Structure 1
Amino acid sequence: MGWRDAAQASLRALENRDGRHPDPYLELLRLGVQHTEESVVVTLFLPGATVTGTVITLDEWELRTLRELKERSSGVRRVAGEAMQALDDRAQEQRTARPDTDSPFVHLRDVTYRSGCDQFSVRTWRGPAAGISGWTVGEPTPA
């Protein structure tokens, strides 16, 4: 998908005529990252927690997650390895393997999860856009 197609998908998301996007501006951000491959750090507000990380594409999330599974679990190592190889092959054939214009999920890397006094980091995060009650660009600063 070229930038013109991405612009059209972004316009459709903003218009949100079919109501598929709970937050069309968050969808616009996700589409922008999908098509420019630029890094954007966001903080997402969820019921009882905040999640801060860098927005990534579905393809990048899949590759990172499968690599992590392959590293950590001998039980799924062969399956994850075969899936990773197929994804790597597909990505080399065509950089934007799928348009990913209607994903109901937001994908992040280098994530900090905060809930109450607890805070921890994870490599990747995937959450439904419908579960996000608010968001902002950037990281929170201590008060």
Structure 2
Amino acid sequence: MPSQNLNTRDKIVAYWQGQSTFVTGLTQETCRDLTHTGYGISAISHIAETSRIQGRDLYGTDVGERLRQALGFQSGYQLGAAVPGWLCGGTLKPGLGPVTEVGYNALHNRRGVAMTSTGALTLNNRPAGSNNLFVAWETLTHGDNPS
């Protein structure tokens, strides 16, 4: 990102909360905490959902694939998977929040994409409540809703 002057590996690693191994599904906030990660995932889900309602399906693009990967990656650790030493120094701060419902419904229920960890977390969290900031009661609007 030229505007942030992230022009060396050290600057990039610092920007990514000290993470130096980059894998599919990892987000820039993962090593900060899963709560802030969830805010970003929720935002992407809502942008894709609004776009779909307005006639452009982003779920079938790289946006949908990135959303699927981010949901799956974070969901596995929120469910209690062991955190490897290369990831955030072996420690994650849980608290993903009620953010999986919109993306899971769109990708799994509408598009038929397998999402094992995300599905398990979504079902465990139902009915999804509110985080009192950005996300509220999305099971009501998106839980197993194919339309």
Both proteins in one fold, TM over 0.5? no
Structure number, greater radius of gyration: 1
Q: Which has the larger strand fraction?
A: 1
Q: Which has the larger helix fraction?
A: 2
More relative contact order, 1 or 2 (CA 8 Å, 6+ apart): 1
Tell me which interval the TM-score lies in, with the shorter structure as reference length.
under 0.3
Normalising by structure 2, we get a TM-score of 0.26
Normalising by structure 1, we get a TM-score of 0.26
